[in-house]
């Protein structure tokens, strides 16, 4: 029996970065990209959203330079927006060649969020797709809120797909944006679409709000979808996305007619690396990659002979002194055999190491780092209501911002003060100063309309902020 090939698109670096309190550095994004493509063998990677920040631009530029040299440029994808060509111009400067254009997949989003008619929306989309084609950029199209669209405005969805399948695009991307679908609904809706448009490539993008992402992925595959969007460790906003490791294992063990390119042997390594970069620990009982799954090894309970080899000839006292410093700073520390070639890879694959667990959480350590910064890049003035919310442990929203001082980028350390210039908190801004100037005093639901692209609703998330 000939197997049906299904594409895997990893969105750890884009949708996964929507995880609360999460932001990758440019070097981390490049390292993860290399691992995902060269070791894990994913077919495509969505690495960023266009226009978000200078840091995001630098990261994409580094990734595309590497990908071009390795002939992987067609695997690198960017989330773009209907913004009169600004996203397209941004992409051209980075060297990226594939856009994932965000559009409205439900009548509710179309009429209430961007307040346009289907005809107006379709004209915008056609203009964007054809402009990209003229610039040598290929297009995939997201139908944001598609699952709600199928539930509540199916006529609109099919009117849209009738139009979209006639456009010069590569793929249609179907997201269960709020994670509301049941497995039976997923199968029914995707079956309807794949049967009606047999010549069009459809991806399914699951969210895990009801812990049904893997089940929904299985049903999407049974219904004939051609690609899946996954993240390492299931990272993503709210309850996350469909996890790469679990989906790969389910396909391998339960769907014999489906073929994917994922190198299963690298799943554990990539999972651990992403966990290290993000600071989000993998639960010990997480399927496929959790520590308790590997019952044939003992990890920190490795036997005496193994420990003797791990310690080598160096003094154990100095190693323990270093461990005390690490765990008191909220860091994990591993003692392993450094004499073997590629010691970190060897440690991960053999699982022979001694693991020192921090005495404080990574969140506490992160906040210590924030407060220990010598200077702030800017200052945000907030009103009394926002000050009360901060005092009650809430995040800082745009609605409570009066004005800002200074010029700063997304992810930089800023000082939060009240109307009388009294210091209230310090934190990492989710927006640049220029973006905050546009959205200050506005409700969270207005941010996408004002900026022209999706972003986090909090200007400073509570986990990225320390009260003074």
The number of residues making up the chain comes to: 468
Asked if 33 contacts 66 with a C-beta cutoff of 8 angstroms, the reply is: yes
Q: Which of 77, 144, 237, 458 is catalytic?
A: 144
466 bridge partner residues? 426
Nearest residue to 297 (alpha-carbon basis) of 340, 350, 344: 350
Give alpha helix (H) positions in 153-182: 154-164
Which two structure tokens, joined as six digits, stand for 414? 């800023």
Query: Tokens 């139908």 belong to which residue?
Result: 143
Going along 61-212, which residue ranges are E strands? 76-80, 98-104, 138-144, 171-175, 202-205
Query: Tokens 């496929």 belong to which residue?
Result: 288
| CA–CA gap between residue 251 and residue 260 (Å, rounded) | 8
Q: Which of 14, 44, 51, 171 is catalytic?
A: 14
| CA–CA gap between residue 438 and residue 430 (Å, rounded) | 14
Q: Tell me the CA end-to-end span of the chain in Å, nearest whole number.
A: 65
Question: Does residue 14 carry a catalytic annotation?
Answer: yes
Which two structure tokens, joined as six digits, stand for 299? 């990890």
Asked if 271 contacts 245 with a C-beta cutoff of 8 angstroms, the reply is: yes
Rounded (to 5) percent helix, strand, coil in the chain: 45, 20, 35
CB-based burial label for 303 (10 Å; 0-12, 13-18, 19+): exposed
| CA–CA gap between residue 125 and residue 140 (Å, rounded) | 11
Q: Is 342 left (phi over 0), alpha (psi -120 to 50) or beta?
A: left
Query: Tokens 């203009």 belong to which residue?
Result: 127
Q: Is 23 left (phi over 0), alpha (psi -120 to 50) or beta?
A: beta
Nearest residue to 202 (alpha-carbon basis) of 214, 212, 190: 190
Query: Tokens 């090894």 belong to which residue?
Result: 297
| CA–CA gap between residue 343 and residue 337 (Å, rounded) | 7
Assign 3-class secondary structure to 269-282.
Answer: HHHHHHHHHHCCCC
118-134 vs 154-164: helix crossing angle, rounded to 10: 30
Which residue numbers are catalytic?
Answer: 14, 144
């Amino acid at each position: 029996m000939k197997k049906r090939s299904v594409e895997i698109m990893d969105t750890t670096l884009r949708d996964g970065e929507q995880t609360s309190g999460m932001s990758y550095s440019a070097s981390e994004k490049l390292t993860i990209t290399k691992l995902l493509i060269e070791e894990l063998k994913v077919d495509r990677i969505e690495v960023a959203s266009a226009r978000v920040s200078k840091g995001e631009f630098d990261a994409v530029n580094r990734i595309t330079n590497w990908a071009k040299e390795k002939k992987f440029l067609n695997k690198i994808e960017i989330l773009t927006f209907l913004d009169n060509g600004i996203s397209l111009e941004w992409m051209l400067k980075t060297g990226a060649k594939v856009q994932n254009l965000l559009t409205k997949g439900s009548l509710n989003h179309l009429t209430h969020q961007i307040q346009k008619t289907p005809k107006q929306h379709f004209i915008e989309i056609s203009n964007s797709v054809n402009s990209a084609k003229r610039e040598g950029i290929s297009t995939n199209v997201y139908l944001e809120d598609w699952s709600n669209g199928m539930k509540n405005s199916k006529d609109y969805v099919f009117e849209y797909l009738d139009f979209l399948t006639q456009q010069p695009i590569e793929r249609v991307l179907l997201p269960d944006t709020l994670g509301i679908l049941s497995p039976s609904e997923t199968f029914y809706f995707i079956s309807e679409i794949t049967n009606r448009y047999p010549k069009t490539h459809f991806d399914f993008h699951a969210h895990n709000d009801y812990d049904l992402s893997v089940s929904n992925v299985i049903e999407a595959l049974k219904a004939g979808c051609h690609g899946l969007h996954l993240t390492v460790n299931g990272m993503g906003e709210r309850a996350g996305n469909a996890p790469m490791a679990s989906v790969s294992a389910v396909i391998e063990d339960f769907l014999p007619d489906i073929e994917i390119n994922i190198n299963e042997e690298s799943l554990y390594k990539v999972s651990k690396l992403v966990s290290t970069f993000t600071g989000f620990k993998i639960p010990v009982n997480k399927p496929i990659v959790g520590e308790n799954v590997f019952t044939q090894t003992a990890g920190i309970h490795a036997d005496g002979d193994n420990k003797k080899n791990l310690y080598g000839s160096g003094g154990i006292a100095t190693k323990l002194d270093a461990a005390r410093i690490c765990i008191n700073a909220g860091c994990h520390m591993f003692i392993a055999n450094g004499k073997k070639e590629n010691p970190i890879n060897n440690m991960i694959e053999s699982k022979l190491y001694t693991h020192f667990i921090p005495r404080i959480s990574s969140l506490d350590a992160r906040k210590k780092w924030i407060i220990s910064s010598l200077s702030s890049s800017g200052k945000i003035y907030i009103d009394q209501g926002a000050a009360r919310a901060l005092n009650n442990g809430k995040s800082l929203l745009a609605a409570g911002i009066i004005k800002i001082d200074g010029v700063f980028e997304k992810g930089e350390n800023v000082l939060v003060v009240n109307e009388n210039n009294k210091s209230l908190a310090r934190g990492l801004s989710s927006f640049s100063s220029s973006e905050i100037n546009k959205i200050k005093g506005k409700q969270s639901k207005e941010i996408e309309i004002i900026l022209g692209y999706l972003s986090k609703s909090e200007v400073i998330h509570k986990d990225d902020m320390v009260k003074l």
